[in-house]
Amino acid sequence: MKPHLQEYLDEFNNGELEDLIGIFGSMEQILVFFQKQKMLEFVDPFDRDLDDYQTEILNYLFNNLNDKSTMKYIVSQLSDVEIKEDGYYLQLNDKSDLCKLFKSYSGREIGPRDIVEALFNDDNWEHFNDTTEDIYNDVIDELNPENIELLKTSILDVLTNWKIEVDDDTPDLFNNYSEEGVFYLTPENVGDVIGDKESFMYLLDEDYLPNMTGNLYSIHYNAYNQAYESEIYDSVMSELSTFFDVETSKWVSKPSPNNPEKLNEFYEIKFNPNELVNSIKKYVGNRNLWGYYQNNIDYLGSWLTLMDNLMENGDEDWLDFSISDYADWGLTKKYINELFPDYI
């Protein structure tokens, strides 16, 4: 290397850029010159003497030269990114950390971030407490034929050879079906009893069917919350597909670095093609003139921190979705019928 070029390189690597910028006019022109002279290979953008210029250098390397080796080094410094043969994966100890990609509302209002954190936490999450005030209309009326048959069998098993003297307080259906003032519950009329709200609720209210009332409330409670959670989950995964191939999401086990016999569990999800690289390029591209070492990419530590930085600064949109006040009734009905055999 010619002496004057070596002098330029030494000044640059020592962070003494004042004279060089005076000669070339800007950092970009210095890098253009170094590239032409094949000197860039001797520049380490992560040298501490170049802290104040790191993002400018990386911006040139990534967005002008598409420097893959430097990009690979950056990726390897992100603690939540796993490099595999088929691409890049986000790996997290806690799945709920994904909530950091979602919009947060100020004050006490529950926003998408709160919902995602609760949804992905290990603790059971139930959004609604009191889900029905009418278990007949909201459960019995929604049962499919198979579950009606199951309910018939259950009632007849509990009330085998059951009969009751009819009076002014018994349901009209009992009076209509009575023989000499007595109503007999039979396989032939149990379906009519179920189909008549007054008659069915009479059996519940008079405690002729122990545990049935509590079970019906539990069925609706679980079905309603499951339907709501299913809707929310679909919305969350739809938003996450902005960055990831959501079909690849799964939990994996890896031997602990300190104890190979111990397995650590991670949640992993594959980045969409070019997503990781583009987010890094965007980060350095939008910060290449900030000149403050704490914005340097090797200070971030993780991709989630990088994205939080981009989103807080308005360079990337927060993931967001609308939050319904109610569960979808079609889904609720579906889950009622799926859960019913487990309780009756």
Express the helix, strand and coil content of the chain in percent, nearest 5 each: 55, 10, 35
Mean pLDDT of 4-11: 88
How confident is the model at residue 244, as a pLDDT?
98
How confident is the model at residue 61, as a pLDDT?
87
pLDDT digits (tens, 9 = 90+) for 216-238: 999 999 999 999 999 999 999 99
Would residue 15 be called left, alpha or beta, if left means φ above 0 and alpha means ψ between -120 and 50 degrees? Answer: left
> Closest by alpha carbon to 61, among 288, 275, 276, 306?
288
Task: Give the separation between CA 127 and CA 224, rounded to whole angstroms.
Answer: 9
Task: Give the separation between CA 61 and CA 306, rounded to whole angstroms.
Answer: 19
Task: Give the separation between CA 27 and CA 291, rounded to whole angstroms.
Answer: 12
Per the prediction, the chain carries an average pLDDT of: 90
> Closest by alpha carbon to 269, among 298, 228, 303?
303
Counts for the chain of helices (H) and strands (E), in that order: 15, 6
C-alpha distance from residue 298 to each of 17, 48, 73, 80, 172 (Å)? 21, 11, 10, 13, 79
Residues in the chain: 344
> Closest by alpha carbon to 68, among 277, 232, 245?
277
Contact call for residues 303 and 279 (beta carbons, < 8 A): yes
- Virtual torsion, Cα 294, 298, 301, 303, nearest 10 deg: 100
pLDDT digits (tens, 9 = 90+) for 153-171: 999 999 999 999 999 899 9
Half-sphere exposure of 119 (CA within 13 A, CB side): 23
Q: Strands (DSSP E) along 111-232, which ranges?
A: 163-165, 182-184
- Separation of CA 147 from chain center: 33
Band of the pLDDT at 186, cuts 50, 70, 90?
A: very high
How confident is the model at residue 299, as a pLDDT?
81
SS3 327: coil
Query: Is residue 106 scored above 80 in pLDDT?
Result: no
Q: Furthest-apart CA pair in the chain: how many Å?
A: 121
How confident is the model at residue 124, as a pLDDT?
58
Q: Kindly state the percentage of the chain with pLDDT values over 70.
A: 95
- 182 φ, ψ (degrees, to nearest 5): -125, 135
Q: The whole model's pTM is what?
A: 0.81
Mean pLDDT of 271-295: 79
Band of the pLDDT at 258, cuts 50, 70, 90?
A: confident
Mean pLDDT of 314-334: 94
Q: Kindly state the percentage of the chain with pLDDT values over 90.
A: 60
> Closest by alpha carbon to 95, among 283, 304, 297, 276?
304
Mean pLDDT of 138-150: 98
C-alpha distance from residue 333 to each of 124, 206, 212, 233, 337 (Å)? 21, 27, 18, 18, 6
Residue 306: CB atoms within 10 A of its CB come to 22
Query: Is residue 109 scored above 80 in pLDDT?
Result: no
The DSSP-derived string for 240-302 is HTTTEEEEEEEEEEEE-SS-TTSEEEEEEEEEPTTHHHHHHHHHHHHSTTT--GGG-GGGT-S
Query: Is residue 293 scored above 60 in pLDDT?
Result: no
Per-residue tokens: 178: 């009575």
How confident is the model at residue 272, as a pLDDT?
97
